A and B are shown apart, each in its own frame.
Chain A
Amino acid sequence: MVVLARGRAGATARHWRESFMYRFVTSWPFLLPTIGFFVGWQLYPILRVLWMSFTDYYYLRVGEPVHWVGLANYREALADPLVRQGLLRALAFTAIFLPGMIVIPLVAAILIDRVRNQRLATIYRVILLIPAMIPGPLIFVLWKWMYSYTIGPINYVLVDVLHLFTIYNAPQWLGDPDLTFLAVAVMEWWWGLGYHTIFFLAGLATIPRELFEAARVDGASEWRMFWSVTLPRLRPILLVLVVLRFGTAMAVIDEYLIFGGFNRALPTYTWTVYMWDLAFQLGDWRQSYAAAVGWIGALLMLIVVAFLFWLFRPRD
């Protein structure tokens, strides 16, 4: 009897352990902080902004009812020349920035990867990483000084040392629309070089050395090994970096605000700055319209990201 009772109790306990409730009680409570964070920090703001984009919500209008306006904000935004111009400007910057942000660290990583002296390789890595340790705003202010027309060291070298220009025709790095994006991109390349190089070094470390040795035995040149061994093996890293940097390049705002402010004539007045202007500067802060502008930009970026995933799809 006792044995039978123990057997039943054991079966009940096993049944309880296998039940949905048991799994629920022993798993889900521990996920709550993460779920709370995800919902409160990510999902809610996204849904809130989505809702706002369909209303006539003005942040500064206290106590006024908010009305549902359907797609009116989107229609207006699509016809707004500042939105179109802002998106085109962001694309232009991305087109300048992205290739350099991939190619320069890739070359640096390949060169460092070939350094056989470990101490020297570490020194190179540390030097490259120094800019990445400096906070963004400090970088922007530093480079803004570097690019200063009258007192910047770059123009000092060009005018007073090399005599390539005079004080009347020296380059206006942040004032000339043709130079601004290049100037911002150079700063970003310098800032991100170490960080991105480390990504590529991690990728290079995963490529078996035997592949290179076999290729050498087969008489492959260095260039051929790069195209046929290194690059295909780095495709996952490239995908991550291209997608990440595409997103950040299209959505740059801090740099533009510090370099160009709210001057609509400058290339730095992109759709992100316009969105900020609408939401926190102009009139009654029409955040509903700013939200629609944001969603249009975000959707376009998602389409491009989908294309990038297709482009970098595994082909083995």
Chain B
Amino acid sequence: MSNGIGDSQYWLLEERLQRRELLKRLTTLGILGSSFGVLLSACRGGTTPAPTAGQPSASEATPGGGERPFTPTFYQWIINLHPDIEKGVNPDFAKKHPIDSKIAPVQGFGIERFVAEARDKNSTWDVYIGMTPFVEMAQLVEAEVIEPWDPYLPDDVKKDIIPSILEEATYQGKIYNWPFLLDVIVLGWHAGIVEKAGLDPEKPPKTWDELLAAARKVKDSGAAPFGCTFDAHGWRSLAPITHSISTDVYTEDGLFDFTSDAAVQALELMKQMMELANPDVLNPGKSDAGVNDTPDEAAFGAEQVAYYVKYQNAPIRFAGVWRDPSKLRLGALPSGGEGATVFWNTGAALFKWGKNKEIAAEYMKALTYDERIWAHSIGGGREAVGQLSVYQSLWDAWRQNPPKWMQDWAFFIVDQLKVSKAIRTHKFGLTQFVIGQPHWEKYFKGEVRDPRQALQEARDAVLAELKKQGG
């Protein structure tokens, strides 16, 4: 049988592996084996074994010190929107302590890598800057990925945090979130479009009825194709509009009460807003699993809509692409009774198995008080992102002696914190809105006529999922 190999070659291949060849192959195997050994040890954290259960981490053994430079990791957008972190804060801090800043592997709020490392009682990083309490804090605490800041947070800093934000940062009686960037759901509007519609651009709608009337006038007058828009994700629209009516909308276990009267009213308002909004308002966004780059941003950026309900950095960023960004105005969310809104901060979590914990606290203080961050965020012109400081002392000082870069809207927004509340921290803090959304959207689409029924379905779906998760 011919197989294309000559007899002599076949004999060589099949039978006569020479001793020299055997040795050569074994040597190769040995090299491969040792390579795998190196690879394995690298995967396990190099030559330093990870601490075992109950064994203190390096930083616990030597407080304030570590075997590596201080290693913070940032959610990518924070570095993108606040360039002074890398240009100014980090180089300055590096004069005191070596720092190795990283980008966190958390696209779409994914925390898998953090959890996986914590299960091995290990952490590549010391602090994660990008945690929003209601989104992932409960899961990170329960999976023992992060630990409280309490032993490291200086008293003067703790007292300086605006009380409602400190409450947001606290879970089970401990502070797990060092607050940093404040976002508040507000009303933004295009003064040019509003004026073209024959309305006073300096006089914002104070109630939802006023907003709907103004938005209708914008659309009917042809000043813009759409009167108003909002982000369809529940924590950015349903919850804030509900808070504007009442903040007493949480169940005993910390979930949003979809069936509360305030939530029902909010849903009815949203349906009326939808009729005046860009038709794709319910569509998912382009990035972060549909959460960001949402259709409302595109419409507002394209100057197709007058009024916009979202956290302040969205209208500020998208007004930056307008022909005349100075036409942007910002104000409090229209009131439905209580006059509150939703806010959240994006702050820092301290990794339980990280190192350099005292340096981490020192860094967070330096970062969060650095005025360059706020000058760029508030007064950065087309590059401004509008995220605000969480410290009362800074606001008091700026109010007494406003810096050149300060904008009036910043004070209006911060003042809303006196009555506003964050969404309660819960394992389903964010996902309850993701699960509920298709159900309340049935009311928008006319598949369910009663808003209360749609919201009851949303609540039932959340509870079913909670039950499925053993909760």
Which residues of A approach B to under 8 Å, CB–CB? 17, 25-26, 29-30, 32-33, 36, 56, 58-62, 76, 141, 144-145, 148-151, 167-170, 172, 174-175, 257-266, 280-286, 289
Contacts and interface: CB of A to CB of B under 8 A. Distances in A.
Interface stretch (B166-174, B251-259, B290-298): B290-298
B394 interface: no
A154 to B, nearest CB: 13
A266 B441 CA distance: 11
Contact of B289 (A141, A261, A289): A261
Given A175-B283, A286-B469, 4 more contacts: A30-B25, A149-B278, A262-B431, A283-B427
22 contacts: A17-B16, A36-B36, A62-B119, A62-B142, A76-B468, A149-B279, A168-B225, A174-B283, A257-B108, A259-B290, A260-B284, A261-B108, A263-B434, A263-B437, A264-B435, A264-B438, A265-B437, A282-B465, A282-B468, A283-B427, A283-B431, A283-B465
A30 B142 CA distance: 46
B142 A169 contact: no
Nearest to B434: A262
Contacts of A289: 468
B298 A29 contact: no
A60 B115 contact: yes
Contacts of B286: 141, 144-145, 148, 258
Tell which of A17, A172, A264 has the most Cβ of chain B within 10 Å.
A264
B62 to A, nearest CB: 25
Contact of B143 (A62, A150, A167, A257): A62
A60 to B, nearest CB: 4
B15 interface: yes
A172 B143 contact: no
A263 B468 contact: no
B60 interface: no
A156 B140 CA distance: 44
A281 B119 CA distance: 17
Contacts of A263: 284, 290, 434, 437-438
B471 interface: yes
B302 interface: yes
Contacts of B118: 62
Interface string B13-39: 001110000100110010010001000
Given A29-B29, A150-B298, A150-B299, A261 B284 contact: yes
A265 B304 contact: no
A67 B261 CA distance: 42
Interface of B: 15-17, 22, 25-26, 29, 32, 36, 108, 110, 112, 115, 118-119, 139, 142-144, 225, 278-280, 282-291, 295, 298-299, 302, 304, 427-428, 431, 434-435, 437-438, 441, 465-466, 468-471
Contacts of B278: 149-150
Given A145-B286, A263-B438, A58 B280 contact: no
Given A150-B295, A263-B290, A33 B470 contact: no
B470 A286 contact: yes
A30 B225 CA distance: 70
Nearest to A80: B468
Contact of A30 (B15, B29, B470, B471): B29
Contacts of A175: 280, 282-284
B25 to A, nearest CB: 6
Contacts of B468: 76, 282-283, 286, 289
Tell which of B286, B431, B434 has the most Cβ of chain A within 10 Å.
B286
B466 A172 contact: no
A285 B139 CA distance: 9
A213 B127 CA distance: 72
Given A62-B143, A141-B287, A149-B280, A283 B26 contact: no
